[in-house]
Amino acid sequence: MATGTSIVRHDPTVRLTAFNRVSTDSVDAAADAVGRIFCPHRLTPEHNTSPEFFALHNSAVFGGLSVNYVAYGGSVSIDPGCLERFFLLQLPVHGAARIRTASRDIATFPGALASLLSPTIPTRMTWESNCAQIIVLVDRRLLEHRAAALSGLPAGAVEFEPAIDLSSAAGRALQSRILEFVDLAERLGPQRPLSPIAAADLRETLLGGLLHGQRHSASDAIDRFGGRAEALPQSLRRAREFLSAHADEPLDLTELASAAGTGVRALQLGFQRHFGTSISEMLRDIRLAHLNGRLTAACPDDSITDIAFELGFTHLSRMASAYRAKFGETPSATLRRMH
């Protein structure tokens, strides 16, 4: 019984049909095949003898991200525990899903509520009424590196509020980005790779939408380090913006203070009080963030030395040590991991 195949043929709402990876009416085969794509998990139909069960999984992969269409027939419970290696953003297409985390219990519906699962939080789900979802898988290290770049903190676990309100401006924008991702994958098809520049733009857009649009454990640090904290004096906002815009230039404290509209000493004290860091340390962190972004978008044969010099680093061994302390890997490891 080729249930999954018939759904691909007859249901016009199925997406990414050219990227089919799983199409079966066997529970064991579905758990094994989907588990290899995502992670091992327990898959249990709510009614063991139900003839409605099928599993369909279409998956398109673009360096550090994948976009997936996943559907189950009938109602099933899914227990992946901790995802460990990735974040899962689940956008309901039809049916409904109940998501249980360590501290939350949410119900998602098309057009109303989506879910965002963090890799360090145990999760159990029930997909109901022939549920289908578009799912974006985001590599954990990729997102944690971007959070570190935005927050001024070393890379570490990021845990999101799991419910995404699709009626909010941020939720609507995120849903629009995901559907654009699906449209792009379908236009390209399985045989046409995404260009490195387009892939980098897509990653940055999605990561920015998640880290700035959805509440998470690093939100306050990102707002503070990015100069967006409500209590931040305007002079410090201007100084932070100036540093970011001129990060590849030598630091001139007099010029920075002039741009901020305050004195050098007041600026130094303000950075320590509001950012918890010195001006030079923040500049170094901004440069490291720019370096990480450049490396995730670079070609395999691009020169790390050249990129580092372009960003204002003059002492490569110190740069490498600082980069490893912040991101948990060497610049060359970041470059290799993206290819």
Nearest-CA neighbor of 120 among 83, 146, 153, 154? 83
**pTM assigned to the model:** 0.86
Quote the Cα angle for 12-206-160, to 5°. 100
Write down the pLDDT at residue 1.
36
Q: Does residue 61 carry a pLDDT above 60?
A: yes
Nearest-CA neighbor of 121 among 171, 97, 157, 74? 157
Distance CA 50, CA 11 (A): 21
DSSP 8-state code for residue 272: I
The CATH classification of domain 3-220, taken from the options 3.40.50.10800, 2.60.210.10, 2.60.120.10, 3.20.20.70: 2.60.120.10
Distance CA 290, CA 287 (A): 5
Write down the pLDDT at residue 193.
82
Position with higher pLDDT, 50 vs 36: 36
Write down the pLDDT at residue 215.
95
Write down the pLDDT at residue 224.
86
Average pLDDT over residues 184-210: 87
Q: Which amino acid is at 63?
A: G
- 196 confidence band (pLDDT: 50, 70, 90): confident
- Could you tell me if 331 and 323 are in contact, meaning their C-beta atoms sit under 8 angstroms apart? yes
Q: Does residue 16 carry a pLDDT above 60?
A: yes
Q: Where are the domains of the chain?
A: 3-220, 229-337
Position with higher pLDDT, 193 vs 321: 321
Position with higher pLDDT, 88 vs 64: 88
- 297 confidence band (pLDDT: 50, 70, 90): confident
3-220 against 229-337: fold identical: no
**Mean pLDDT (the chain, rounded):** 90
Q: Which amino acid is at 305?
A: T
Nearest-CA neighbor of 87 among 66, 62, 59? 66
- Could you tell me if 115 and 163 are in contact, meaning their C-beta atoms sit under 8 angstroms apart? yes
Average pLDDT over residues 269-275: 90
pLDDT tens for 212-262 read 999 999 999 998 888 877 778 899 989 999 999 999 899 999 999 999 999
Write down the pLDDT at residue 4.
45
For residue 327, give every residue at least 6 positions away whose Cβ sits within 8 Å of its Cβ, in sequence order, or none.
145, 148, 154, 155, 288, 292, 334
For residue 244, give every residue at least 6 positions away whose Cβ sits within 8 Å of its Cβ, in sequence order, or none.
286
Write down the pLDDT at residue 11.
63
Write down the pLDDT at residue 9.
42
The yes or no reply on domain 229-337 and CATH 3.60.15.10 is: no
pLDDT tens for 71-118 read 999 999 999 999 999 999 999 999 999 999 988 899 999 999 999 999
